[in-house]
Amino acid sequence: MSSLHPSPAVVLQQVGGAGLDPVMAIMDEAFDQRFGEAWTRAQCAGILPMHGVVLTLATNNSVPLGFSLVRSVADESELLLLAVRPHGRRRGVATALVNRFIADARGAGAHYLHLEVRDGNPATALYERTGFRIVGRRSNYYRGTDGETFDALTMARTF
């Protein structure tokens, strides 16, 4: 039950553009290029200065393990990206990041939280365990490096 009891040694910290180096290293390791879910450095750098965008880095003993990227607009908050290095998985790091996303959104007065996840991604179970439900499907939302496309599920929770 590691994900219900994340290691107390995991530290979550909001970072700006200065956090892009570790974030891109995690991005490269975490996402399988077959699915087209990863963002480029330019995409990340472009969204970071926007109002309501928060990048959170998870570290253990100062070693970067994972990150989340969130955008809040009015009373809605969207989880844009979530990733954990392969060697840091199944220890509750992503759950800690999602729980922080939920707590921060609630604290900021958000009423609707949402995200897109590739149909078939095991992260769907993580989102269900943290209160999200499937509310829609977007056909061919992700395009992998070989051109194959994959549907996205829209998941949401309300307060």
Return the beta strands (E) in the chain as ranges: 10-15, 53-60, 63-73, 76-84, 112-118, 133-143, 149-158
- Per CB under 6 A, contacts with ligand COA among 23-52 are 30-31, 37
Q: Does 152 bind ligand COA (CB under 6 A)?
A: no
Measured between alpha carbons, how far is 135 from 84 in angstroms, rounded to an integer?
25
Q: Does 114 bind ligand COA (CB under 6 A)?
A: no
Nearer to ligand COA, 109 or 149 (CB): 149
5's tokens: 């009891």
Q: How many binding residues for ligand COA (CB under 6 A)?
A: 24
Nearer to ligand COA, 83 or 110 (CB): 83
Q: Which residues of 28-42 are buried (b: 16+ CB within 10 A; e: fewer)?
A: eebeeeebbbbbeee
Measured between alpha carbons, how far is 43 from 22 in angstroms, rounded to an integer?
15
Instruction: Give me Rg for the CA atoms of the chain.
Output: 15
Q: Does 8 bind ligand COA (CB under 6 A)?
A: no
* Contact region with ligand COA (CB under 6 A), list: 11-19, 91-99, 102-110, 135-143: 91-99
Local structure of residue 92 (DSSP, 8 states): S
157's tokens: 């929770």
Q: How far is the CB of 111 from ligand COA (least distance, A)?
A: 22
Q: How far is the CB of 74 from ligand COA (least distance, A)?
A: 23
- Which member of 48, 53, 89, 134 binds ligand COA (CB under 6 A)? 89
Q: Which residues bind ligand COA (CB under 6 A)?
A: 1-3, 30-31, 37, 81-84, 89-95, 117, 121-123, 125-126, 129
